[in-house]
């Protein structure tokens, strides 16, 4: 079961990367044809997709730490600080139909994404913009627990989620401001 869940997470990360490319294409399509069905679908579903990504990312990080026993490092905790609240806040916003929270999600996703990018660079190269050393009982930020498909590590998983969330919410925001 653990292997199935870990493989599912990897598939979802690759799917997030593909969806990120779809949103980038959507920005170009929107320039040429802002009323296309493609643009409408991306815009209408950006908020829900962002919530789903935040929820799956939260569950995935808890799976790695609480089920597989991988100790979160300092950077992992910072990434969680910017991911976990979004699952709750966006879930409540969907339930209450409060669609104007996109700004908070975009800011949290950009900051979380920058931390994840720095963490990924540290793991892949051994150097980073912001240094991180083991603090107290914490594991070193440069420790790599998993590598899938030759490039997907836990920080890269977070980065993929944050990038997709940012793109989806920016697209949603542009659609929201036009239609509402």
CA distances from 92 to 83, 95, 101, 165, 174 (A): 15, 5, 11, 17, 22
pLDDT of residue 147: 83
User: Over the Cα atoms of the chain, what is R_g?
Assistant: 17
Q: Which domain holds residue 36?
A: 2-179
Residues 93, 174, 179, CA angle at the centre, nearest 5°?
80
SS3 132: coil
Helix 102-125 crosses helix 37-62 at what angle (to 10 degrees)? 60
Strand partners for 152: 148
Counting the structural domains of the chain, the total is 1
pLDDT of residue 146: 86
Please state, for a pLDDT cut of 70, what percent of the chain lies above it.
90
Strand partners for 174: none
CB burial string 7-22: b at 16+ within 10 A, e below: eebeebbeebbebbeb
**Residue 134 predicted with pLDDT over 80:** no
Q: Which residues contact 127 (CB under 8 A, 6 or more apart)?
A: 121
pLDDT of residue 34: 85
Closest CA to 19 of 149, 166, 140, 147: 166
CA distances from 74 to 53, 77, 139, 155 (A): 22, 5, 8, 12
Task: Give this prediction's pTM.
Answer: 0.91
Q: How many CB atoms lie within 10 A of CB 4?
A: 8
Residue with tokens 């899938």: 148
Q: What is the pLDDT of residues 95-124, one digit of tens each?
A: 999 888 899 999 999 999 999 999 899 888
Main-chain dihedrals φ then ψ at residue 123, nearest 5 degrees: -65, -35
Q: Which residue has the higher pLDDT, 136 or 168?
A: 168
Q: Which two tokens stand for residue 164?
A: 């997709």
């Amino acid at each position: 079961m653990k292997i199935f869940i870990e493989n599912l997470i990897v598939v979802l990360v690759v799917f997030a990367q593909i969806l990120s490319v779809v949103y980038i294409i959507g920005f170009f399509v929107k320039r040429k044809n802002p009323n296309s069905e493609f643009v409408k679908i991306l815009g209408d579903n950006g908020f829900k997709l962002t919530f789903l990504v935040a929820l799956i990312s939260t569950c995935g990080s808890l799976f790695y730490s609480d089920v597989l026993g991988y100790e979160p490092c300092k950077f992992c905790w910072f990434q969680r600080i910017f991911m976990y609240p979004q699952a709750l806040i966006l879930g409540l916003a969907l339930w209450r139909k409060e669609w104007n929270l996109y700004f908070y999600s975009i800011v949290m996703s950009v900051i979380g994404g920058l931390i994840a990018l720095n963490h990924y660079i540290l793991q892949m190269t051994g150097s980073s913009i912001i240094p991180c050393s083991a603090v107290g009982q914490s594991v070193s930020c440069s420790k790599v627990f998993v590598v899938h498909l030759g490039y997907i590590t836990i920080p890269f998983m977070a980065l993929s989620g944050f990038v997709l969330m940012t793109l989806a919410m920016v697209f949603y925001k542009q659609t929201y401001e036009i239609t509402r």
